[in-house]
């Protein structure tokens, strides 16, 4: 069989799932994938204690020192702060996920299931004209890219610049 390599899909879930998650807990996941890839994260099940501004139980997704998402609430009741069908993509090759629960849950909230995978970065098409990777031609492949030159030019030792 030929074609692009299949990348694995990984799973994160709240403690005790599908039973209710414990109170007063913090869990951190630091997710990283190889250079040339980004992390794609989405939730397939979400049931946390709802609260104004997600101040009680929540999931926080961060990358490069910025909060990419803050989620809480119950997907079944369609509250505003649930992930729904949202897919979160890291700006580079890593992100962190924080799950936090407070000291009291009046109901039995079951937690969450999240999935993540590595997705290829198309270095060649994600550039502005003033920030070109290659002088002449850029060729993307899974996990990286390479440059080539027009006929009559040679690729310089920096592997980006073409010399006539």
Enumerate the domain spans of the chain: 9-120, 129-163
Q: Checking phi first, is residue 11 left (phi over 0); if not, alpha (psi -120 to 50) or beta?
A: beta
Q: What is the DSSP letter of 72?
A: -
* Fold classification of 9-120 (topology level): Jelly Rolls (2.60.120)
Note whether 113 and 13 are within 8 A (CB).
Answer: yes
- What residue has token string 């990348």? 7
pLDDT in tens, the chain (164 residues): 444 555 578 999 999 999 999 999 999 999 999 988 999 999 999 999 998 899 999 999 999 999 999 999 988 776 667 887 889 999 999 999 999 999 987 788 999 999 999 998 888 886 665 677 899 999 988 888 899 999 999 999 999 999 98
Query: CATH fold of 129-163, please?
Result: Laminin (2.10.25)
Residue with tokens 């080539």, as numbered in its chain: 148
């Amino acid at each position: 069989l030929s074609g692009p390599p299949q990348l694995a899909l990984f799973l994160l879930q709240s403690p005790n799932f599908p039973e209710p998650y414990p109170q007063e807990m913090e869990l951190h996941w630091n997710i990283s994938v190889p250079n040339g890839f980004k992390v794609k994260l989405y939730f397939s099940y979400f049931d946390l204690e709802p609260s104004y501004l997600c101040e009680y139980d929540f999931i926080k997704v961060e990358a490069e020192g910025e909060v990419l998402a803050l989620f809480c609430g119950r997907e079944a009741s369609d509250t505003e702060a649930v992930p729904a069908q949202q897919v979160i993509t890291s700006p580079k090759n890593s992100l962190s996920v924080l799950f936090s629960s407070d000291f009291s849950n009046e109901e039995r909230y079951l937690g969450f299931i999240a999935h993540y995978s590595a997705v290829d970065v198309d270095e060649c098409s994600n550039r502005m004209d003033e920030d070109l990777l290659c002088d002449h031609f850029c060729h993307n492949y899974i996990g990286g890219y390479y440059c080539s030159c027009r006929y009559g030019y040679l690729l310089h030792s920096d592997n980006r610049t073409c010399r006539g």
